Amino acid sequence: MIDVYKKCNLCPRNCLIDRTKTLGYCKATDKVKVARSALHHFEEPSISGNNGSGTIFFSNCNLKCCYCQNKEISTDGFGKEITIERLSEMMLELEEKHANNINLVTPTHYVPSIIEAIKLARSKGLSIPIIYNTSGYESVETLKLLEGYIDIYLTDFKYSDNKLGKDLSKCPNYFEVASKALDEMYRQTGKNKFNDNGLMTKGIIVRCLVLPTKSDDAKKIIDYLYKKYQDNIYLSIMNQYTPVNFIKDYPYLNKTISEDEYNDVIDYAIDLGIKNAYMQEGGTCSESFIPSFDLEGV
């Protein structure tokens, strides 16, 4: 499976380059690079719980979102190269710290290595759920490789309007790609399942980040998701957009969303009849919610 890196088609960019010799769109080599491995307490309640989610932040990304709050690792590539064996050890170390789950953040471009690490960790006793935490810009073929290894998909659904995807993430076909990817995720997991402590053990949470002045696009996403999946998946409607860099070309991104904008989206979801959804209270749009990428646990 590692041979995929020699003609990489892991994501919809389909670069088909040899990552052992050169770099494609995501700028990742064939070696896994990680920026942080630690307990994280700011995910959805059914993910973080009391103990925290065992979060592994991977370096590089197949999107180029101009507003990315993790630009240091996603675009600039900060992190440390590690072996598959070390990745498996990190999973076990997080379980030893009583993590509720293993949360793989931006993992797309390392899928073959991640699968091998999960196999190795499970052979040594790893027993907590595995979360695939993704931008939603995924290849169905790559997702199929993950069947049986991933318990929970924690996925963004960023745009209904493909022009927004092209402008803000250099991704002209986001809606079509993300829709097909979500279909595959749902095929694998089915309806959400929880344990007696209210922690998710199987299923899907779809995140919808409301961008400033773009509440109408968020409503279209919510409408699409509810009509297709009803309450069989959970939605996470987020107000935490944080402007971390000045964006000259799209000045509307240089501010947080207003309370009225966010409440308008929440009211729309309620009026649709959505029951299984998370919402955020004020104060989430703060840089204090952005992790420190300091190689902790790596």
- Rg (alpha carbons) of the chain, rounded to whole number: 18
Helix axes 162-169 and 174-189, enclosed angle (nearest 10): 100
Reported as a single tens digit per residue, the pLDDT across 193-204 is 999 999 999 999
How confident is the chain (298 residues) per 10-residue block, as mean pLDDT?
A: 91 97 97 98 96 98 95 96 98 98 98 98 98 98 98 98 97 97 98 96 98 98 98 96 91 95 97 96 60 92
Which residues, 6+ apart, have CB-to-CB distance to 117 below 8 Å?
A: 32, 84, 85, 87, 88, 91
Decide if 7 is inside a domain.
yes
In a domain, 172, yes or no: yes
pLDDT for res 283: 56
Put simply, whether the predicted model's pTM sits higher than 0.75 gets the answer yes
Query: For residue 18, what are the domain limits?
Result: 2-207
The token pair at 56 is 């592994």
CATH (domain of 55): 3.20.20
Residue 48 within a domain: yes
Report which of 45, 44, 36 is spatially closest to residue 104, judged by C-alpha positions: 36
E strands, 181-239, in order: 193-194, 200-209, 234-238
pLDDT at 244: 86
Number of domains in the chain: 1
Fill in the DSSP letter of residue 292. Answer: P
pLDDT at position 90, please? Answer: 98
